[in-house]
Every structure is written in structure tokens, then in C-alpha cells.
Chains A and B, each alone.
Chain A
Amino acid sequence: MNRNIILSIDWITVLLYFSLISFGTLNLYSATYDESFQNISFFLSPIGKQSIFLFLSLVSGMLLLAIDPKILEPFSNIAYVISLILLLGLFLFGKTVNYSTSWYSFGPISLQPSEFAKIGTILVLGNYLSKIQTDIKKISSQFKIILLIAIPVSFISFQPDLGSALIFIAFFFPLFREGLSQIYLIIFISATVLFLISISYETITTIVIILFLFTIIFLCLRYLNPKIKLWPIIFFMMISIGFSFIVDYGYNELFEQRHRDRIEIFLGKKIDYKGAGYNINQSKIAIGSGGLTGKGFLQGSQTKGNFVPQQHTDYIFSTIGEEWGFIGSSIIIIIYFTLIIKIIISAEKQTRKFRRFFSYSVASLLFIHFLVNIGMSLGISPTIGIPLPFISYGGSCLLAFSMLIFIHLNFDANRLNE
């Protein structure tokens, strides 16, 4: 590591990173604290395993800070291919936990390649976008981009790990930033709305709602521009109805009951506190019972009683809410938000497309994890099991995101050097 790095490194981001991992470790200790299992070997306990990955993260972080940033760009395609091989290898050598074959197991340590696939995908997309011949406004380029994303996503979906696959939606943000047409934004939002309407209501009702919406849209457009033709509206309407039929079919035939339950709980269709809604409800109780100042470190009764399933992974935020209260929870949200914004600001300063895309993608991935994970714990977004980076238990996630952060720091520090 040269002196320049030390001088030009973004110490604020470093500080935010370290405050998140130290608070995360402390909190994880509380979430997994079990009086009755104290004689278990430290390195076999969740906190022990997490510490190993923390150490690995810091070591690889130092290395990534020290390397010449230029060597990463040519390395992109190899990284992507390695990611895909690792994902495919799971179908042969993977370990199955909770019906998902998402892990390589080395004794007590497990690795989750889907976390590292994010790095490979960012690199390959960045590399592709920074090529002269790539024009994001062209359909052919868009097709290639979608293909590059779809391959790892489909591999991950077949594990099956829908949560991790859904995270790749985050790439919408950097791509949009790099000039993806606004049509995609409209399609993205419309599709989400249509999806929610389709699964919330019966087929007939859905069609009536679609007809009604399109009539209003048509009347508005007609008012703005009297010459507008009817057929494109009817065309989009037919597509919408077709989409809702596909969603309906997919939802009822392809989704498993547990997925349907999760979505229906989120939509408020099912209130079943002892059944599928149990997790969300217990998480809300844990957070709500924390009050302003929280119950204190190791004092959370919901946490100690293991009322919130997967509390140390997906529902880690409920421990924060219970033990550190409104003050602690808000501080974590603010730190996260600040980190995301800080990375975006740095990204905007990058003149090289590859590096800007990389940093922007890091911010976007962090944001989607932040949105889905905390939203789920607070009961305002659907139950999708993904971790909160730096806070949740999960070595691969910690290692992958640390690598992303340190690569970003490297790019940012070397921005003025070159």
C-alpha cells in the first residue's frame, strides 16, 4: 500500500464501514447468545465463524486496497466465468440447507457463491458498458446486458434461492444511471403494480381493474393529444392482461405455498400469527417492544426467547430494534443511508465508466439489501430472505460486500492519481 492511498482514501466511508461491522458483530453476539451453550468451541459458534470471515474480509480488503486498480478491468470476464462455474458447481457439490442448494461446505465453514456472483456480474457489466461499441440505448446491447444478468439469476433461481436472485434487480439502478431508456422504468413500475394487482384479486376483478386503468389513461392522453390512436392502448392493454394471466398461473402453479403465504401476508390477505405471518409479527413485536431506548444489550426477551426465526440472519434488525430501541435503530438506518449516499457521490465523481458503474452498483446492491431486509423486519415489504450486509450472520455476504467496499475505496482513492 503506498502513501498516496493512505492520504487519498475516503476515511469517512472506512469509518462507516467499521462502525457497521463492529456494531454488527456486537449485535450478532447478542442475537446468538445462548446461556445454555457456552461451552461450545468459539470457532464453531456463529460469532466465532463470523469472526473468521471478518478477519478474511479485512485481509482481502488490505490486498484489494493495495493492488493496481487497472488490473481489475481485464480480470472482469474471468471473474464472471468463475462466478458462473461456482454457481453451476453447486448442482454437483453443493450442500442443501432448508431445501436450497446454495452452499459449499468446508467443515464448519460454508461459502455461498451467489454472494460472489454479484462481484463477477458487476465487473462483467462494467467492462461491457465501458466498451466503445456498446450503446445502452440499442436493443442489441440491452439484450446482451439482460443476458449477462439473467444467466447467474437463473442459476441462483434453480438452487432455488429466490431471495438472492431478486437482488439482481439492483442492477436496474446503475443501468438506468448509465442511460437505460425511461421506458424500462415505466415497464418496471407497471409490471410491479400489475403483479401486485394480479395476485391480490380474482382474475375477473383484475381484468376489470386493468380495463378501468387503461380507459383513464386513454382519456387523459386523448385530452392532451386529441389525435392519439386507440390501437396502441388496446395493444398494451392486451399485453397487461396477458401478463396478469401469466402472473396468476406462475403464482399458483410455480410458487410454493410458503412463497405465496409470504406475499399474501405482506398484502394483508392472510392474518395468521401462528402460521406464516408469525415471523413478521414476532419481528414487529420485538422491534415495537424496544421503545425509545431499547431493552439493552443482551436484554431482549424476544431475542433471548428465539421468538423471531432466522433472527441472526434475515431478521437481525429485530434484535437491534428490541435491544437498542428507536435511537439505535435510527442510527443504523442513518449510517446505512449515509454510506449509500457517500458511495453514490464518489461514483458520480468517477470519470471512468467502468469504475463509476462499479461504485454505483455497490451502492445499489447495498440499497436493495437495506430496503428489502429492514422493510421486511418492519413489516412493510414482502418477506424475502436476504441478509443485511455487515450486520447479519453470514460469512460470504460479509466477505463479498467487504470486497466490494474495498474495491470501491481503491477506485475512489486512485481517482485523482491517474
Chain B
Amino acid sequence: MIRIYFLPFTAILVSVIFILRLVNLQIIDSSYKLLSDNNAVFEQTLFPERGLIFDRNGKVLVSNKSSYDLMGIPENISVFDTIELSNILKVDKKLLVSNLNKARKFSSKLPSIIIPAIPKEINAVIQEKIWKYDGFYLQKKSTRHYPEAVAANILGYVSEVNKNDIKKSTYYQSGDLIGRQGIEKYYENDLRGKKGKKFYQKDRFNRIIGSYENGKFDISPKNSNNLNLTVDLTIQKYGEKLMENKWGGIVAIQPSTGEVLALVSAPSYNPNLLVGRERSKNYSNLSLDTISKPLFDRSLQAQYAPGSPFKTINALVALQEETINDKTVFQCNEGHYYAKGMHMECFCPKGSKNNLIKAIYNSCNTFFANTYRSIIDKNGSPADGLEKWNKYVKSFGLGNYLGYDLPIGKTGFIPNSNYYDYWYNKGGWKSSTIVSNAIGQGEILATPIQMANITAAIANRGYYITPHFVKSDKLLKNKIVSEKKFTLIDSIHYEKVIEGMYQVTERGTAKIAKIKNVKVCGKTGTIENFTKIKDQKVQLTDHSIFIGFAPKENPEIAICVFVENGYWGARWAAPIASLIIEKYLNKEVKRKWLEKRILNGSLLNEYEKPYLGTEFVINE
């Protein structure tokens, strides 16, 4: 019996074992599918070229330069000569080894960047030898290039995604670029387009032998959008040049559209520094400079007391509230006592009688202190008065984010009654307590772009359009509404203030800002400011500020210039603003002497003072 059934039973046993084995391999254990994909399918990511960025006249601000990344799939990497490879790549062997280890830790199956941004010359060499290194391949990638090396603060920069970015969005893979700051960040989705994927069939020697399943799974990349900025390259470049060796910001806006023509922050940096291999080193150098803070955008993030330019706003509020009119006159005796023993200085000669226009062009503190107090005290209760004033002021876009299309910003500060109730208790303060606000000193804080925006609102006689940096309406849809935002001041009141501002350059504090054949309106400011040295409040040289617009009728440019510790508004800010206006409206600057003075002027000595550790003199 055993003789007859031995073979048939063995055959049954073997067949059953085979089928059980198949069940295990093909149905239960799913790891083989992945193994086979890794084996045989090579996934190439197709990066759409990142969108270019142009200025308002179509001049290139950001373009792309191609470079190659050395990619590696740890699982496929076999033993190789690390010294040879690092010599070819001209990198430190230790870096190569440590990056390989990092890649292994990240994933043995997924590709990682081993050496990023290989320059063209080295790429030519490595391309020929890459076959020697199993598991390595080169991936073409474009990096950013800034032909003009300007507007770093507006454009921002891109860098490789980190673990958090990958965690936050499934779109990104190790080695992808992401906008980190500025336009690059805000318009990331438009600029990056959408990656595509192409699958190739590999053979066992890792050679590509054709497309995988006739490209059934391929995803073609979605093209990126090019961006046209509202920024005028000429003005931006000129502004940056004028601000050399000075700290501060310039914001120029086209009042009729809200388009930002220039946004200068000084000191800044060459955007090309944050591209390529040296990126992280350069970045840490920039971020470690905590004194001049080149990565800090003073135009968007610095909150200064607005100083005298704010007087124009107080005048408008008072006119609207009818607590003054264009005939109101206040007498000034080199200042005035606003409370017992409390004196506010002014530069008006003794016995000056100032009406609104004269008060503006002479920047009379006394006039505006009285004006401001008339607003606050109008209804008897300073709290009610302040709340009303607060509402007016906020309608200029102060005290809140403006909503422009850049990722950073500050709200500034417009005090309300709660604020003073907190500090002085309820009813513990009067208009005289907060009178510093009259001249833009007190508790008010504003950023240069906010100040430029109120200038635009004045130039428009009562409305502003949210400042923005990108021209195409398509991209701005639902992001920034191009609607007119009206202030709470009737448009007739503006003319009186504008006349005063016009006189500022005609006969007032900023005659230096006068441009031949152009009616420039403006307002200077000289702002007291303090710092802390060894926990002691120390006064520094005043900030120099100027707001202005031109021409007086149908204004084309509104500007705010802020120069830290520049002393008189008329010394730095006004000439700089005036030069930019001249350049923008007339295309060329005739006042070479003024231009030369500004270009050669340096305030670096001024900025050193607090750090020298010795006694120093301010407002020289």
C-alpha cells in the first residue's frame, strides 16, 4: 500500500505546501509589493521652474539658475570610495559621511539629498562618474538668482524644507524649496506651481529602460506663475543706495492704487547670499547681527513713535469734530504750559500766533497740543473724547495690521481709554496727561508702511487702498480687496491740511525738500527716543522722519522716510524723500549736491555710541 500511495501523497503534500506558501507571499505579506516598486520603479520628481519675479516695468528681480543635487537612496548605496567622491564634489569627507548617515536615519528607501546645489563646473565632472556610485543620482534643480541684488526684504528667500514643513504639508519632500520670507513666502503656492512625477521602469542594474506602465501614473507638473511686483526697480535701488550707512526705512506708495513703489529697509543684505551652498552660513551671520539686524524689516516691523507728521492726523480729526477750523489761532511762547509746572517746548518765537497752516509748516507743538486737547475734552469726558479720536485715527489703518501681501508686519499702537485707565486708574487722567499724543510722541506707535499709508490717504483726500506688492489682480483676488477704504474725515478738511503740508516745503521746516516745478507736500518729524543701557533709560539722538507726497494735485507718489537717530527731519528724511520723489517723477535727479551729501552721509558713528560704553552727546 505504501508503495502505491507514496508518490501521490508526496505530490499532494508538496502542492499544498506550495499553495500555502503562495498565500503567504502573495496575499498575507504585503511587503513584497513595496519591495518590487522600489526595485523596479524609479520615481523622478518634475519640478516646475519656480515663477520669476519682475518689477512693475517688467524688469527681472528674481530669476532661476540651474544647479544639481546629489541624491542618494541609502538602501541602494553600496560600498564606495568616500574620499574619491568627496574630492570630486569638492566637499569635506566628513560632511558627506554625516549627510549619508542622516539620510539613512531619515529613510533607507526614500531618496535624500546628500550634497545640495552642486555648481555647474563640478556637475560636469560628477555626471560622467555617477555610474560608479550605486544608489546615487543627480537631480536637476533650479535655484534663485537675483540679477540686481536689491529688495531682499520684499522678495524674501527660499530654502529647503525642514521636518516641520514636511509634517505640515504632504506636498513637500526632503530637498524641496519653500518660500521662507517676503513675496517668496506669501505667494509660495503661485510661485512654486505644482510638482509632477514621472515613473520609470528600472532594470536590475538600476538602468532606466523606459517609462513605467506607459506613463499611466505620471503626473505632469503644473506651471508656476510669474509675478509682477508693484515695486519700481529704479526707485527701490535708488532708495537702498540713499539709505546706505543709515538705519531706517523708506516706503513709497502710489496713492491712487495702493501699489507699493519701494520698500526699503536699511541695513539690508544681498539676496544672493541666501542661495546655494553658503546659504546657512550666511544666514546665521545675518541673524547673529543683533545690533544692526539686517533681517529685520524696519519698514514693516519697526514700530516708532510717528512724531510731528502725526500732527496732520490730529488736525484732520479736530477739523472733522469742528473743535478747530482754518481760522483758529493759538499763541505760542517757545512752547506752553499744559498743566501746572508742565511745559512743552516749541521752536516758535515768543508771541507767535499760529493758524492751522502756519502751525503745520512751522510744526508748532503748542497749536497741536491745544488742538488735541480740544478733541479729547470736547464732550467733557476725556475717555469719550479719546475713544472718538481713536476711531478716527484707526480709520487711517493705524493700530492694526494693514493687510498687505507680505507675511510679516506689526500693528503699531493707538491708545484707547482702557489703556490709560489701566495705567492711571479710571478717571485718573485728563487730556493734559496724554498731551504727548498731540505731537505724535506719547504712546502712539506706527510702522513706516503705516505712515506711508496715511500719507497716501491724505494725498487721496480721504481714502486709501491697502498697500500691496503684486500687480496681477488674479493673484490678489480674495487676498487684498482693491476697494477704497475711506477715513472718517470728510474730504473737504484735507485741503486745509494739504495746504499746510505744501507750505512745509515752500517756506516751512522742509524747504530742502522743494523740487523745482513740482508741488511737494510733506511734514517733517524729529522724534525723541530712548534705549536701555545697563537697565538705565538713555536718550539717543532723535529719529529723523518725513512724510510727503507729490504732486499736490493728482499725487503720484506718497512716501515715508524714517532715519534712525538722524536728528532733524529736515536733515536726512526730508532730503531722501525729496530725492526719491524727484527721481520717480522726473526720472532724473538734478540736485546732485544734495544727492551727493546723502550718499556720502553716514550715521554709523551715531549707531556706535550706545555700544562704546562711554559717555556720549546726542543731537549734535
Which single residue of chain B is at the shortest CB-CB distance from A329?
A: B22
Q: In the docked arrangement, what's the CA distance between A304 and B209, Å?
A: 9
Interface status of B7 (Cβ within 8 A of chain A): yes
What 1/0 mask marks residues of chain B from 318 to 347 whose CB sits below 8 Å from any chain A CB? 000000000000000000000000000000
- With a cutoff of 8 Å between Cβ atoms, the chain B residues found around residue A371 in the complex are 14
How far is the CB of B50 from the nearest CB of chain A, in Å? 33
Q: State the majority secondary structure of interface residues on B.
A: helix
Q: In the docked arrangement, what's the CA distance between A360 and B2, Å?
A: 15
How far is the CB of A147 from the nearest CB of chain B, in Å? 23
Interface status of B585 (Cβ within 8 A of chain A): no
- With a cutoff of 8 Å between Cβ atoms, the chain B residues found around residue A307 in the complex are 39-40, 203-204
Interface status of B57 (Cβ within 8 A of chain A): no
Question: A306 is contacted by which of B37, B78, B203 (Cβ under 8 Å)?
Answer: B203
Say whether, besides A282-B204, A288-B35, A380-B21, A363 and B3 are in contact (CB < 8 Å): no
- With a cutoff of 8 Å between Cβ atoms, the chain A residues found around residue B31 in the complex are 288
How far is the CB of A76 from the nearest CB of chain B, in Å? 22
Q: In the docked arrangement, what's the CA distance between A216 and B210, Å?
A: 61
Best-buried of B10, B18, B27, B210 by chain A (most CB within 10 Å)? B18
Q: CB distance A289 to B36 under 8 Å?
A: yes
Which single residue of chain B is at the shortest CB-CB distance from A334?
A: B15
How far is the CB of A358 from the nearest CB of chain B, in Å? 15
A250-298, CB < 8 A from B = 274, 282, 284-292
Give the size category of B's interface with A: 35 or more
Say whether, besides A290-B26, A305-B201, A326-B22, A285 and B36 are in contact (CB < 8 Å): yes
A169-201, CB < 8 A from B = 173, 176-179, 182, 185
- With a cutoff of 8 Å between Cβ atoms, the chain B residues found around residue A395 in the complex are none
Q: CB distance B25 to A287 under 8 Å?
A: yes
Which single residue of chain B is at the shortest CB-CB distance from A287?
A: B25
How far is the CB of A379 from the nearest CB of chain B, in Å? 8
Q: CB distance A292 to B3 under 8 Å?
A: no
Question: A325 is contacted by which of B26, B36, B213 (Cβ under 8 Å)?
Answer: B26
Q: CB distance B6 to A301 under 8 Å?
A: no
Q: CB distance B15 to A288 under 8 Å?
A: no
Interface status of B613 (Cβ within 8 A of chain A): no
How far is the CB of A108 from the nearest CB of chain B, in Å? 25
Q: In the docked arrangement, what's the CA distance between A159 and B551, Å?
A: 102
Interface status of B17 (Cβ within 8 A of chain A): yes
Interface status of A364 (Cβ within 8 A of chain B): yes
Q: In the docked arrangement, what's the CA distance between A281 and B28, Å?
A: 17
Question: B35 is contacted by which of A289, A321, A341, A374 (Cβ under 8 Å)?
Answer: A289
Say whether, besides A305-B204, A375-B18, A176 and B6 are in contact (CB < 8 Å): yes
Interface status of B192 (Cβ within 8 A of chain A): no
B204-253, CB < 8 A from A = 204, 209-210, 212-213
A75-128, CB < 8 A from B = none
Q: CB distance A380 to B17 under 8 Å?
A: yes
How far is the CB of B479 from the nearest CB of chain A, in Å? 45
Best-buried of B6, B36, B39, B201 by chain A (most CB within 10 Å)? B36
Interface status of A344 (Cβ within 8 A of chain B): yes
How far is the CB of A272 from the nearest CB of chain B, in Å? 12
A317-365, CB < 8 A from B = 321-322, 325-326, 329-330, 333-334, 336-337, 340-341, 344, 348, 360, 363-364
Best-buried of B23, B37, B39 by chain A (most CB within 10 Å)? B39
Say whether, besides A287-B26, A301-B201, A307-B204, A378 and B21 are in contact (CB < 8 Å): yes
Q: CB distance B213 to A299 under 8 Å?
A: yes
Q: In the docked arrangement, what's the CA distance between A53 and B584, Å?
A: 88
Interface status of B202 (Cβ within 8 A of chain A): yes
Q: In the docked arrangement, what's the CA distance between A292 and B203, Å?
A: 24
Q: In the docked arrangement, what's the CA distance between A301 and B41, Å?
A: 8
How far is the CB of B77 from the nearest CB of chain A, in Å? 11
Question: B22 is contacted by which of A35, A173, A330, A336 (Cβ under 8 Å)?
Answer: A330
Q: CB distance A304 to B18 under 8 Å?
A: no
- With a cutoff of 8 Å between Cβ atoms, the chain B residues found around residue A380 in the complex are 17, 21
Q: In the docked arrangement, what's the CA distance between A380 and B16, Å?
A: 13
Question: B27 is contacted by which of A285, A305, A326 (Cβ under 8 Å)?
Answer: A326
Say whether, besides A176-B6, A341-B11, A330 and B19 are in contact (CB < 8 Å): yes
Q: In the docked arrangement, what's the CA distance between A307 and B35, Å?
A: 12
Q: In the docked arrangement, what's the CA distance between A378 and B212, Å?
A: 26
How far is the CB of A235 from the nearest CB of chain B, in Å? 26
Interface status of B33 (Cβ within 8 A of chain A): yes
A356-412, CB < 8 A from B = 360, 363-364, 367, 370-371, 374-375, 378, 380
Q: CB distance B6 to A173 under 8 Å?
A: yes
Interface status of B12 (Cβ within 8 A of chain A): yes
Interface status of B593 (Cβ within 8 A of chain A): no
How far is the CB of B577 from the nearest CB of chain A, in Å? 67
Interface status of B4 (Cβ within 8 A of chain A): yes
Best-buried of B4, B7, B10, B31 by chain A (most CB within 10 Å)? B7
Question: B11 is contacted by which of A286, A337, A375 (Cβ under 8 Å)?
Answer: A337
Which single residue of chain A is at the shortest CB-CB distance from B6?
A: A176
Interface status of A27 (Cβ within 8 A of chain B): no
Interface status of B428 (Cβ within 8 A of chain A): no
Q: In the docked arrangement, what's the CA distance between A333 and B201, Å?
A: 30
Interface status of A313 (Cβ within 8 A of chain B): no
Interface status of A57 (Cβ within 8 A of chain B): no
Q: CB distance B6 to A367 under 8 Å?
A: no
Interface status of A36 (Cβ within 8 A of chain B): yes
- With a cutoff of 8 Å between Cβ atoms, the chain A residues found around residue B14 in the complex are 367, 370-371, 375
Which single residue of chain B is at the shortest CB-CB distance from A322?
A: B36
Q: CB distance B22 to A177 under 8 Å?
A: no
How far is the CB of B404 from the nearest CB of chain A, in Å? 51
- With a cutoff of 8 Å between Cβ atoms, the chain B residues found around residue A288 in the complex are 25-26, 29, 31-33, 35-36
Q: In the docked arrangement, what's the CA distance between A200 and B11, Å?
A: 27
Q: CB distance A301 to B21 under 8 Å?
A: no
- With a cutoff of 8 Å between Cβ atoms, the chain B residues found around residue A333 in the complex are 15, 18-19, 22
- With a cutoff of 8 Å between Cβ atoms, the chain A residues found around residue B19 in the complex are 330, 333
Interface status of A302 (Cβ within 8 A of chain B): yes
Q: CB distance A378 to B25 under 8 Å?
A: yes
Q: In the docked arrangement, what's the CA distance between A182 and B26, Å?
A: 39
How far is the CB of A279 from the nearest CB of chain B, in Å? 10
Which single residue of chain A is at the shortest CB-CB distance from B14?
A: A371
Q: In the docked arrangement, what's the CA distance between A177 and B39, Å?
A: 47
Q: CB distance B204 to A287 under 8 Å?
A: no
Q: CB distance A305 to B15 under 8 Å?
A: no
Q: CB distance A321 to B22 under 8 Å?
A: yes
Q: In the docked arrangement, what's the CA distance between A371 and B19, Å?
A: 12
Q: In the docked arrangement, what's the CA distance between A288 and B10, Å?
A: 25
Interface status of B349 (Cβ within 8 A of chain A): no
Q: CB distance A301 to B40 under 8 Å?
A: yes
- With a cutoff of 8 Å between Cβ atoms, the chain A residues found around residue B27 in the complex are 291-292, 326
How far is the CB of B563 from the nearest CB of chain A, in Å? 66
How far is the CB of A303 from the nearest CB of chain B, in Å? 9
Question: B4 is contacted by which of A177, A284, A286, A301 (Cβ under 8 Å)?
Answer: A177
How far is the CB of A296 from the nearest CB of chain B, in Å? 10
Q: CB distance B6 to A285 under 8 Å?
A: no
How far is the CB of B446 from the nearest CB of chain A, in Å? 64
Question: B3 is contacted by which of A176, A306, A329 (Cβ under 8 Å)?
Answer: A176
Which single residue of chain A is at the shortest CB-CB distance from B213?
A: A299
Question: B40 is contacted by which of A292, A302, A375 (Cβ under 8 Å)?
Answer: A302
Q: In the docked arrangement, what's the CA distance between A277 and B4, Å?
A: 38
Q: In the docked arrangement, what's the CA distance between A213 and B203, Å?
A: 49
Which single residue of chain B is at the shortest CB-CB distance from A290?
A: B26
5 chain-A/chain-B pairs, Cβ below 8 angstroms? A177-B4, A289-B36, A301-B40, A341-B11, A378-B22
Instruction: List 16 other contacts, CB 8 Å, given A185-B6, A287-B22.
Output: A35-B209, A173-B6, A177-B7, A286-B36, A287-B25, A288-B25, A288-B26, A302-B36, A305-B201, A306-B203, A321-B25, A333-B18, A341-B11, A363-B7, A367-B10, A378-B18
CB-CB nearest 5 A-B residue pairs: A288-B32, A289-B36, A301-B40, A305-B40, A326-B26
Interface residues, chain B, with chain A CB atoms under 8 Å away? 2-4, 6-8, 10-12, 14-15, 17-19, 21-23, 25-27, 29, 31-33, 35-37, 39-41, 78, 201-204, 209-210, 212-213
